[in-house]
Structure 1
Amino acid sequence: PIIGNTFQMPRYREWETYHKWEKEYGEILYLDAFGMPIVLLNSRQMTYKLFEKRSSIYSDRKTMPMTDGLLGFSWSMTQQRYGPWWRRHRRAMHEKFHPGAVEVYMPIQRMHTKQLLLNLLRSPEAYRKHLKHAGAAIIMQIAYGSHIQPMNDPYICIAEEAMKALGEAGIPGMFFVDMLPWTSFKRKARVWRKALTDMSEVPYQHVKMTMANGTAIPSFTSSHLEALASKMDVPPDAEQVIKNTAGVLFAAGADTTVNTLNTFILAMALFPDTQKKAQAELHSVVGRARLPDFEDKEVLPYTVAVYKETMRWHPLVPFGIAHTLSEDDIIDGYFIPKGTIVMGNTWTLLHDEDDFGPNPERFNPDRFLDPSQLVCDPAMSGSFEYRRQICPGHFMAENSLFIIITSILQMFEISCPKDTAGNEEPMEYDFTSGFFSFPKEFKCNITPRSKEVEKLIISAASAQSLSGDAPRFLPGIFPSGTTPRVKHPLGAIPRGIHPQHIH
């Protein structure tokens, strides 16, 4: 009775076991891990009833000794208790990333996408490194105004170590310390704690330093700090909110977007017919003389469906973030006690034939285009959490994924690896287990689709300063005919930044 289901809980390809249990036990699955009650919700209808209709009592978070205590990750919005402190963080994020605000980041996303294409052209075998660099470069410039190094960037190293820690420790019950708080995991926790602290502290302090010496580049952090400096009555913990939200932004963008792109690359190699269909649409709409742009999104339904299917086929977070019930509840005759951890079984939700059509194990973007079937949007079904606590940066993340995926599809052919005789070899692949699940390293071929494509990639990259010092301010960041002090879409300009710095 003390151990409960602890040793029945899977540690490898967990989503397969929980999906099997859903078939056996239904839409509500109860587990007990050393006295910690855990409920998995296995249907969209049930997650809607609890996380939407009863969100006032299902939006709290449980304090986890491993992530919150030993790792010191309680500063993250994903770990914070539901209440005024969490809402202040949410407000700070929403202010800069609501649908009407994210257009300002598009020049940054375009710039680093062009550099990614050039890197893939030069060394396609290192595609994972290039994807990681692009994802980190975009989010570092948006969050902190920083330009990362082409190789071995310290910020990327910090993010990798931190996200590794969360990947292993983020599932309730993964570490016995979550069920037996007196158990010690000090050695591993000490290394991880430093990485998680550095992830928010190091780039934040760099922004403060550049603001002090007048060299700051406009960013999420600098604009919030500048707005803070203009206020008369500032709460003593206001800076902490800025540092925390920037750290979450960095963590989410530096690693999670990249791993979704790795899933996309794998899917294109495994399903070449899907790739060809998307490329045909791109050539019909965009042509061959330019790169895709954000304005093309409305007229690229199949390519947008490829992006949605990437999130559905293998979600990065198979079980979502753990919610905690703040008071006793009864749902459809089931009693759920206060303090129970409640999680949406995202992988199972996104593989429900009632919501996504037949053969959910196949990568099939057409499921989103069938007018006879109402198919859910994976972004609203757990891929970015659920509506009340949906990731506030998901509009920006979707833009990054769209511009990168469409650009890669137009420029490159992705295929299975070939042997020395030129014959395609079977794809060998697997997914990591843990809080995050993404493809382990796999081999594939990424080749330019034509000589004209190579020229377009090179000319697009050479048209902007991407090697060495990137431009401090991107064209279009400031409205034409205005001074940065008067009007700036990110907020006020840090002291010491003047119009002559803009080029």
Structure 2
Amino acid sequence: MHSIFDPSFQLIAALAGLAAFLVAGILTRQRTPKGLRLPPGPRGLPLIGNALDMPKEREWETYNEWAEKYGELVHVKVFQTNIVIINSRRLANELFEKRSSNYSDRPQLTMLCDLMGWDWGMAFQRYSDSWRKHRRAFHEKFHSGAVGIFKTSQIKHSRDLLRRLLVKPDDFAKHLRHVAGAIIMEVTYGIHIKPEDDPYIINADEASRGIGEAGVPGTFMVDRLPWLRHLPDWLPGMTFKEKARKWHKITTDMKELPYQYAKAEVDAGRADECFVSVHLEELTAKDKLTPEEEEVVKNAAGIAFTGGSDTTVSLMTTFILAMALHPEVQKKAQKELDSVLGGVRLVEFEDESELPYISAVVKETMRWHPLFPQSLAHAAVEEDVVGEYYIPKGSIVIGNSWRLLHNEEDFGPNTDKFIPERFLEKSAIRDPETTGSFGYGRRICPGMHMAQNLLFIEIASILQTFDISGPRDANGTELPMEYNMTSGIFSYPVDLKCSIVPRSKAAVQLIEESLKTTT
């Protein structure tokens, strides 16, 4: 008789589990109602469906090819999971907006939520009362009318970004991450981070990397076959377990450590005004500070920290790339800044209404190469019918943001090119934030207003004081740009080398003088 801890017994159990899964797949094969059909898509294989067709990198290219071939709705099936890809604004609006009660759920990702511990994250929670509580707590402090109080912190740290670029321009990616982290730590936890290599920011960066890899449905086989999580570590293909354990600790520390610090400051009566302190004080004053309510505050703060320390960094890196590739756009933006500011002071938020071209650059940055090319996946709560097509209950539903943001009917011709002018023309009818760059429907990113404010002030500040170009050799000759776009849930440039130099001595002086008033 074999013990359950005997390796041979575990292998037999694994094979039995696989056999049971395959048999169940045959017996429970879903039938499409008479008169309807599944949306078109690439032909799959028996049992595994389109598992071999799913892209491993640059997913937006494959999804775009499918859209060209099959149309507004594309269906693929990976093992027993139906995936529906929405490729038009018309259908994105129909499903995510008009039928939002059915399409506001999230798929349950075993790797990300169960093993890595992101089940508390509002962005990944199922559509439920718990999600609504978290959303409400977040929205109270980050809606469009509330984020103005964060502008002081954003201005201060944008000035610090200029100083850092002045001293070590080659480390621009590190500087962008530090500044974004410094802002979100202040406004969320009241924590003033270390000038260099802050452990909170390093931890958040690692946590975001984990999300980027595990957030796309199907990246890990355990998402398709959840029972794999119960198999022994020594079996081939179980390396996901080691990754999960590592990321689980990082995720837990990211959520718990800054929150416990902020709470201790509140209890001691010395907390700065921030997301956590305001919520805890309000709940205490109303005698509603229960463990359940406190958990909501902690979780909402954790997702604010995660999103705020990563989203704008990636978009700003895309902006740097765009400026290096399109010097004519950079010169036009700088001309507008010089005309409004006269070179006598640095840009402020109050100047935004007089800087339409800078605002257009911000929008084009979000549109040109969206941070979430496939958005965060939704899930169908119940079966549905769209025209002649049947969408099974539980289907993963993906908004093809890349496709929508490159639709020439909405954004004009040459959507593969970086052309801010498209947002200044009278015929321009769409904005990236309403076309998928921040998600869809009830699951649209609630932190987008704060992110857009930071994008504006950082883009305007950098363009006012620096010139961006491709990397240069020892003789000062500009070299071709070399970079890679990441795949996964996030997409942004990596291995990006460029030249960032002050526009003039007057620009250097403006930066140095501004630091005297913000320190």
Common topology (TM > 0.5): yes
Corresponding residue of 1:421: 475
Task: Give SS of 2:397's match.
Answer: strand
Q: 2:328 corresponds to which letter in structure 1?
A: D
Work out which of the residue numbers 377, 401, 412 in structure 2 matches 1:357. 412
Is 1:314 the counterpart of 2:366 in the alignment? no
Alignment of 1:236-251 (within 5 A): 236-251=291-306
Task: Give SS of 2:457's match.
Answer: helix
| Partner Cα distance (1:376, 1:5) in 2 | 34
Q: 2:157 corresponds to which letter in structure 1?
A: H
Corresponding residue of 1:216: 271
Task: Give SS of 2:494's match.
Answer: coil
Corresponding residue of 1:392: 446
| Partner Cα distance (2:442, 2:342) in 1 | 40
Work out which of the residue numbers 509, 513, 519 in structure 2 matches 1:455. 509
| Partner Cα distance (1:128, 1:182) in 2 | 40
Work out which of the residue numbers 436, 449, 453 in structure 2 matches 1:382. 436
Task: Give SS of 1:182's match.
Answer: helix
Is 1:252 the counterpart of 2:307 in the alignment? yes
Task: Give SS of 1:207's match.
Answer: helix
CA contact (8 A) 1:367 1:375 kept: no
Cα RMSD over matched residues? 1.1
Q: How far apart are 1:152 and its partner, in Å?
A: 1.3
Alignment of 1:177-216 (within 5 A): 177-184=222-229, 185-216=240-271
Q: How far apart are 1:20 and its partner, in Å?
A: 1.3
Deviations 1:86-124 (A, max 9, x none): 111111111111222111111000000000001101111
Alignment of 1:27-38 (within 5 A): 27-38=72-83
| Partner Cα distance (1:175, 1:198) in 2 | 23
Change in 2 beyond 3 A, CA 1:149/1:234 = closer
Between Structure 1 and Structure 2, the one with more helix by share is 2
Corresponding residue of 2:205: 160
Work out which of the residue numbers 53, 56, 66 in structure 2 matches 1:21. 66
Q: How far apart are 1:233 and its partner, in Å?
A: 4.2
Identity %: 53
Corresponding residue of 2:285: 230
Corresponding residue of 1:497: none
Is 1:324 the counterpart of 2:379 in the alignment? yes
| Partner Cα distance (2:324, 2:289) in 1 | 53
| Partner Cα distance (1:286, 1:387) in 2 | 38
Q: 1:240 corresponds to which letter in structure 2?
A: E
Q: How far apart are 1:215 and its partner, in Å?
A: 2.6
| Partner Cα distance (1:233, 1:240) in 2 | 12
Q: How far apart are 1:140 and its partner, in Å?
A: 0.6
Is 1:62 the counterpart of 2:117 in the alignment? no
CA contact (8 A) 2:255 2:299 kept: yes
Q: How far apart are 1:33 and its partner, in Å?
A: 1.3
Work out which of the residue numbers 142, 150, 155 in structure 2 matches 1:110. 155
Q: How far apart are 1:421 and its partner, in Å?
A: 2.4
Q: How far apart are 1:213 and its partner, in Å?
A: 2.5
Q: 2:194 corresponds to which letter in structure 1?
A: Q
Q: How far apart are 1:212 and its partner, in Å?
A: 2.3
Q: How far apart are 1:7 and its partner, in Å?
A: 1.3
Change in 2 beyond 3 A, CA 1:235/1:216 = closer
Corresponding residue of 2:18: none
Work out which of the residue numbers 190, 195, 198 in structure 2 matches 1:150. 195
Task: Give SS of 1:435's match.
Answer: coil
| Partner Cα distance (1:113, 1:422) in 2 | 28
CA contact (8 A) 1:77 1:248 kept: yes
Is 1:72 the counterpart of 2:114 in the alignment? no
Residue ranges of structure 1 left out of the alignment (5+ in a row):
466-503
Work out which of the residue numbers 120, 124, 141 in structure 2 matches 1:96. 141
| Partner Cα distance (1:392, 1:18) in 2 | 26
| Partner Cα distance (1:258, 1:195) in 2 | 20
CA contact (8 A) 2:106 2:379 kept: yes
Change in 2 beyond 3 A, CA 1:42/1:307 = same
Q: How far apart are 1:234 and its partner, in Å?
A: 4.5
Q: 1:423 corresponds to which letter in structure 2?
A: T
Residue ranges of structure 2 left out of the alignment (5+ in a row):
1-45, 230-239
Task: Give SS of 1:446's match.
Answer: strand
| Partner Cα distance (1:402, 1:167) in 2 | 25
| Partner Cα distance (2:441, 2:346) in 1 | 33
| Partner Cα distance (2:210, 2:497) in 1 | 26
Corresponding residue of 2:348: 293
Q: 1:365 corresponds to which letter in structure 2?
A: P
| Partner Cα distance (1:233, 1:207) in 2 | 19
| Partner Cα distance (1:463, 1:171) in 2 | 45
Alignment of 1:490-501 (within 5 A): none
Structure exhibiting the larger radius of gyration computed from Cα positions: 2
Q: How far apart are 1:464 and its partner, in Å?
A: 2.3
Q: Which 4+ residue blocks in structure 1 deviate beyond 6 angstroms?
A: none
Task: Give SS of 1:78's match.
Answer: helix
| Partner Cα distance (2:76, 2:380) in 1 | 15
| Partner Cα distance (2:253, 2:241) in 1 | 18
Q: How far apart are 1:142 and its partner, in Å?
A: 0.5
Task: Give SS of 1:330's match.
Answer: strand
CA contact (8 A) 2:104 2:441 kept: no
CA contact (8 A) 1:357 1:375 kept: no
| Partner Cα distance (1:403, 1:2) in 2 | 52
Is 1:411 the counterpart of 2:456 in the alignment? no
Q: 2:499 corresponds to which letter in structure 1?
A: N
Q: How far apart are 1:214 and its partner, in Å?
A: 2.9
